[in-house]
C-alpha cells in the first residue's frame, strides 16, 4: 500500500472508530460482514466494512491482470447469520459454496454507473453468455437515478446459454446508496437466486447464488470508481468446481468491461455487444 492510501485508510478508519464502530479486517470476514449488514437501516456498520475493504482494493493492481484481482483462497462460506430477510431454499448447502471475490477499477465516476442499473434490458451489461435479461423494477425506479431515494428493488428473468448448459432463471437484486464517509456516496447491490434453476433437459442445476457488489468513488480520484464483486455460489453442471469457478470468473470480468462500454459507447451498443437485444421471449 502506498503512503497516500495508508493515510486515507487511517483517516477514514478513525471516523468509524469515533462512532464506536468496528468492522473485521480480513477479507473473508469483511465480505460476510457486508452481507450481514446490507439491510441495516443505519448503514454505518456497512460503511465501516467498506472502509476496511478499501485498502485491500488499493493494494491490488486494479488495472492489471484480472487473475491478480480475483480472490479465491481462504474465503469462508456464508451461513444463516448473513441471510437477513432472504429465505434459504432447499438448494442452499453452505458447505458446497465456492466463495470468490473480484476487484476492478472503472475510469468513470459513480454517477455514470447509476443509470445502467435503471436499464430494463440488461443483456449487454451482463456477460456474453446472456441471451435475455429483462429487469423489472419493484421500487425506486422513479427516484434512484437522481438520488432522491436511496433504494432500488428489482427482479429479473435471465436466459444463459453456453457450451456447458442452457438455463432460464429468476433473479432478485436490490441496490442501495450509502454514505461511505463525509465526502463520498457509494452504491451497493445484493443479488439472490430464490430457487434452484434447472437447465434445459433438467440434468444440470444452478443451486445457489448470492452476490454482493460495491461501486465506491476512488478516494484519490473521485472521477474513478473501484468495483468489488463477491459471489457465493454452487452449480451442479458436471464440469467440476474449478471449471465452474473459471466460468464465473470470466463472466464477472466481462461484466465489468461491459459496464464501462455501456457508459462510453451506448450509441454503438449493437457493434460491441454482439448480442440480440430483441431476443424473442420463449421461456417455457
DSSP one-letter string for 29-93: HHHHHHHHTTT-SSTHHHHHHHHHHHHHHHTS-TTS-GGGGEE-TTPPPP-GGG-TT----TT--
CA distance linking residue 230 with residue 14, whole number of Å: 26
Mean pLDDT over 11-18 rounds to 46
Strand partners, 134: 121, 157
Vertex 226, ends 133 and 11: CA angle to 5°? 145
pLDDT for 155-164, tens place per residue? 999 999 998 8
Q: At what angle do helices 241-264 and 110-117 cross, to 10 degrees?
A: 110
Computed over every residue of the chain, the mean pLDDT equals: 92
Distances (CA, A) of 197 to 165, 175, 201, 208, 247: 12, 23, 12, 9, 17
Containing 4, the helix (H) or strand (E) segment is helix 3-18
**pLDDT band, residue 281 (cuts 50/70/90):** confident
Q: Which helix (H) or strand (E) covers residue 20, if one does? A: none
Rounded to whole angstroms, the Cα distance separating 33 from 27 reads 10
What does the pLDDT read at residue 20? Answer: 64
- Say what the pLDDT of residue 21 is: 80
pLDDT for res 19: 59
Residue with grid cell 485508510, as numbered in its chain: 9
Look at residue 95 and give its three-state secondary structure: helix
| Res. 12 pLDDT band, cuts 50 70 90 | very low
Mean pLDDT over 105-127 rounds to 97
Task: Note the pLDDT tens digit of each residue in 49-106.
Answer: 999 999 999 999 998 999 999 999 999 999 999 999 999 999 999 999 999 999 999 9
With beta carbons less than 8 A apart as the criterion, state whether 227 and 80 touch: no
Confidence of residue 279 (pLDDT cuts 50, 70, 90): confident
Q: Give the 3-state secondary structure of residue 205.
A: strand
Q: Domains of the chain, with CATH numbers?
A: 63-273 (3.30.530.20)
**DSSP-derived 3-state class of residue 219:** coil
Contact 252, 98 (CB under 8 A): no
- Integer Cα distance of 41 and 173 in angstroms: 17
Amino acid at each position: 500500500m502506498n503512503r497516500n492510501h495508508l493515510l486515507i485508510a487511517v483517516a477514514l478508519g478513525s471516523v468509524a472508530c469515533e462512532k464506536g464502530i468496528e468492522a473485521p479486517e480480513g477479507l473473508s470476514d469483511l465480505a460476510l460482514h457486508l452481507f450481514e449488514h446490507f439491510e441495516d437501516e443505519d448503514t454505518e456498520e456497512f460503511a465501516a466494512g467498506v472502509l476496511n475493504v478499501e485498502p485491500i482494493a488499493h493494494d491490488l493492481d486494479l488495472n492489471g491482470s484480472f487473475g491478480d484481482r480475483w480472490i479465491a483462497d481462504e474465503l469462508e462460506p456464508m451461513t444463516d447469520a448473513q441471510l437477513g430477510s432472504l429465505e434459504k431454499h432447499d438448494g442452499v448447502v453452505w458447505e458446497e459454496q465456492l466463495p470468490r471475490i473480484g476487484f476492478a477499477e472503472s475510469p468513470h465516476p459513480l454517477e455514470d454507473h447509476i443509470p445502467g442499473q435503471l436499464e430494463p434490458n440488461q443483456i449487454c451489461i451482463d456477460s456474453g453468455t446472456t441471451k435475455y435479461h429483462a429487469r423489472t423494477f419493484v421500487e425506486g425506479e422513479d427516484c434512484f437515478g437522481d438520488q432522491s431515494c436511496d433504494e432500488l428493488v428489482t427482479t429479473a428473468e435471465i436466459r444463459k446459454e453456453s457450451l456447458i448448459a442452457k438455463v432460464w432463471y429468476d433473479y432478485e437484486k436490490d441496490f442501495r446508496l450509502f454514505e461511505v464517509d463525509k465526502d463520498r456516496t457509494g452504491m451497493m447491490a445484493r443479488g439472490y437466486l430464490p430457487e434452484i434453476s434447472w437447465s434445459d433437459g433438467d440434468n444440470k442445476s444452478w443451486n445457489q447464488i448470492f452476490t454482493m457488489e460495491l461501486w465506491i468513488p476512488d478516494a484519490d480520484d473521485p472521477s474513478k470508481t473501484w468495483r468489488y464483486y463477491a459471489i457465493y455460489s454452487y452449480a451442479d453442471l458436471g464440469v467440476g468446481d474449478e471449471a465452474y469457478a473459471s466460468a464465473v470468473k470470466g463472466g464477472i470480468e466481462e461484466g465489468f468491461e461491459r459496464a464501462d462500454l455501456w457508459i462510453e459507447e451506448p450509441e454503438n451498443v449493437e457493434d460491441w455487444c454482439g448480442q440480440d437485444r430483441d431476443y424473442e421471449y420463449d421461456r417455457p
